[in-house]
Amino acid sequence: MANNRQVPALRDMAFETLAKHSLFSVEIPAESTPDYHEKVMGVFVQMLNEKRMPKFLHAIADDDRKTVKEMLDVNPELIVIEPPKRLEIESKLTWNKFYAEKAFTMAIKRKQLEMVKLMLPYLDQIENSKAEVLAEWVVPPIADDIEASIPVEYGIYLKSLVNVFAEERFSDCKLSQKTEAALHSLFNMLLPKKAVKLDDYIDVELFFLAACLAYRNNDKAFQNQHQRNAFCIRVIGLIQSVLPPETGKVFCQGLYYVVKENRKISARADSLKLSDDMPFYRSSLQPRVGLGFDFMAGNAGTSLSRWGASSISSLLPIWKNYLKQVQQALGALRSDCSNSLTCSLQNASSRLV
């Protein structure tokens, strides 16, 4: 019985050895039964889930491409393995908390274009992976005017926030209890205390667009510039703070420069610092400082604390252009993947003839 105590240690040693050579490179004797093969692979997948998957999915959530690449170089199968049920992923940047899904599916749903580009080549190393990925890869139709994609309820809700700020009197230079309560509700909607499914979460990019449109379309509802600036920083800036890190890096580089001039993401922007050295994300969930409290991120990669409202008119068309570019790029990638799979199947068929 005492020897049984060695089983966990042996299990860990076996996993570390196999993981270094890629899970699906393991050779199982040809004479093994299908049932044995399935059981062996099941144990390996379980160990991979326990030991590697949480770190891998956290790296995807926070756009840590270096870690993702290092892990995929060893275990490309991490892309398509189903993660443990109810595994919660909390970003250490946006502080979103959601239930894990397959890595590739998660990146697609979060519109992580660069992460999708990084992972695609690894699919060739996994048998039947492209067919599996294509079956789950849904690209929403691209409207000529991206505004048409915004759910109606987004506009209604944000218009109600405009009305709240339009009543603000800034007594003692503070927001009223009514305004703070409305912002608290917005905060809880953007950052629920409990993990949510990605399909049940708001589309943050479209919600951000809807907020900018609510400001522009209801400009006359505001009575002064103080109300306008407060809405931009506390509402639009707060929504910015939950945009995925890949998009945060674009803002740090400068949305205008990336979209209009095709500038690459610099080392500073990659570290999520704005050009005036302000961090794009808050250091933790609760502090009432930083993006969404003190400033919003401007069109040219700077923090805007006083004149944030004046930047919305220039930001809007470029943000719409950015969203359309990302959708088109994701659609093109899926098409390329589909064509590649078709060619592979045709080649395989021709070899059988």
Out of 47-51, 210-214, 319-323, least confident range: 47-51
More confident residue, 125 or 20: 125
Average pLDDT, integer, range 309-327: 89
Average pLDDT, integer, range 280-287: 87
Q: Mean pLDDT over all residues of the chain?
A: 85
The model's pLDDT over 191-208, given as tens digits with 9 standing for 90+, comes to 999 999 999 999 999 999
Out of 41-45, 63-67, 95-99, 153-157, least confident range: 41-45
pLDDT value of residue 270: 97
The model's pLDDT over 228-267, given as tens digits with 9 standing for 90+, comes to 999 999 999 999 999 999 999 999 999 999 999 999 999 9
Q: Kindly indicate the confidence band of residue 141, based on its pLDDT and cuts at 50, 70 and 90.
A: confident
pLDDT value of residue 40: 54
The model's pLDDT over 103-140, given as tens digits with 9 standing for 90+, comes to 999 999 999 999 999 999 998 888 778 888 888 888 77
Average pLDDT, integer, range 264-271: 97
For residue 284, is pLDDT > 80?
A: yes
Q: Structural domain boundaries of the chain?
A: 2-109, 146-326
Percent of the chain with pLDDT over 90: 61
pLDDT value of residue 230: 93
Percent of the chain with pLDDT over 70: 81
For residue 303, is pLDDT > 50?
A: yes
For residue 36, is pLDDT > 60?
A: no
pLDDT value of residue 85: 87
pLDDT value of residue 271: 97
Average pLDDT, integer, range 65-81: 92
User: Considering only CA atoms, which of 233, 157, 181, 238 is closest in space to residue 204?
Assistant: 238
Average pLDDT, integer, range 317-339: 92
For residue 11, is pLDDT > 90?
A: no
Q: Specify which of 78-82, 310-314, 315-319 reaches the highest per-range mean pLDDT.
A: 315-319
For residue 288, is pLDDT > 90?
A: no
